[in-house]
Amino acid sequence: MAGVQMSMRPTNRIDHFLPIRFKNGAVVKQFSKPCIKCGQLLQARHMHGIARLLEDHLAMAATAHCPACHTQFGVACVIDNEKRVRRVVLPLFLFKLYLRTLAMHPDEVAAHEQALADIAKAQTPVIKAEPVDYPRAGSIIGRYGDKPIPAYIVVDGREVPFDRIEADGQVNVGEYLLDGCFVYKPAHP
Ligand SMILES: [Zn+2]
């Protein structure tokens, strides 16, 4: 017989298990934990493993990978329905195995779907420009986060200069959006 397969499939990102809604209405939307080596705050999308709703507790076992320093470390914890997080002292591989062997409970599926529906209802629709990758100027006039800001983009053969940053990607008529947050505005419309 082959041994128990311990490696995590790359699709088992912890953020894909979220949000989870407990029976008391509390919703766990995010999970974050600082890197044990460099302190960078890692999010659920930086963790691969498994999360399971067990009665009033969300149990999670994952391997976190720090994008900043590439350290990998195990995360094993239980979150209760008041969102208190407790570390699990069981060895990580045993905890993962335990969670894997539990059958998917119908309540778990319902809790996930209900939470998604609630969030969709709460969100107000916003109009966003379609992402288009325009030709960019060679010169960079600054940076925003880790993104370089091109001095201008080329639209229909015309140079359109950088105007401002809109973190939520909202633009006015006649303006262009690049990389989801850089707004370019024609000088002579
Ligand atoms: Zn790190």
**The amino acid at 94:** L
Reply yes or no on whether the pLDDT at 90 is more than 80. Answer: no
Distance 42 CA to ligand 1 centre (A): 8
Q: Pairing relation of β-strands 85-87 and 140-144?
A: unpaired
65-87 burial string, b = 16+ CB within 10 Å, else e? ebeeeeeebbbbbbbebeeeeee
Between 138 and 19, whose confidence is greater? Answer: 19
Contact 35, 42 (CB under 8 A): yes
**In the predicted structure, residue 36 carries a pLDDT above the cut 90:** yes
CB-proximal residues (5 Å) to ion ligand 1: 35, 37-38, 40, 66, 68-69, 71
pLDDT at residue 2, as a whole number: 38
**Mean pLDDT: which of 25-34, 36-45, 109-118, 149-158 is highest?**
36-45
Supply the DSSP string of 6-71, one letter for each residue. -PPPTT-BGGGG--EE-TTS-EE---EEE-TTT--EEEGGGEEEEEEEETTEEEEEEEEE-TTT--
pLDDT digits (tens, 9 = 90+) for 95-110: 877 777 775 566 766 7
* Residue 11: pLDDT band with limits 50, 70, 90: low
What are 107's strand-pairing partners? none
Proportion of the chain above pLDDT 70, given as a percent: 82
43 C-alpha to center of ligand 1: Å? 12
Indicate the pTM of the whole model: 0.50
Distance 89 CA to ligand 1 centre (A): 22
What is the 80 CA–ligand 1 centroid distance (Å)?
27
Tell me how far the alpha carbon of residue 33 lies from the centroid of ligand 1, in angstroms. Answer: 11
Distance 19 CA to ligand 1 centre (A): 25
Alpha helices in 62-167, H assignment, sequence order: 92-101, 106-122
State residue 8's pLDDT score: 40
- pLDDT value of position 126: 46
Number of other residues whose CB lies within 10 A of the CB of residue 11: 7
Q: What is the pLDDT of residue 146?
A: 84
Local confidence band at 122 (pLDDT 50, 70, 90 cut-offs) = low
Q: In the numeric block, which tokens belong to residue 120?
A: 């969709």
The phi, psi pair for 95, rounded to 5°, reads -65, -45
When pLDDT is averaged across residues 57-73 and rounded to a whole number, the result is 92
- Indicate the burial class of 163 (C-beta count within 10 angstroms; 0-12, 13-18, 19 or more): middle
Distances (CA, A) of 140 to 152, 164, 178, 180: 9, 14, 14, 17
Greater model confidence, 94 or 74: 74
pLDDT tier, 112 (very low <50, low <70, confident <90, very high otherwise): confident
Distance of CA 11 to the CA centre of its chain: 13
Å from CA of 44 to ligand 1 middle: 14
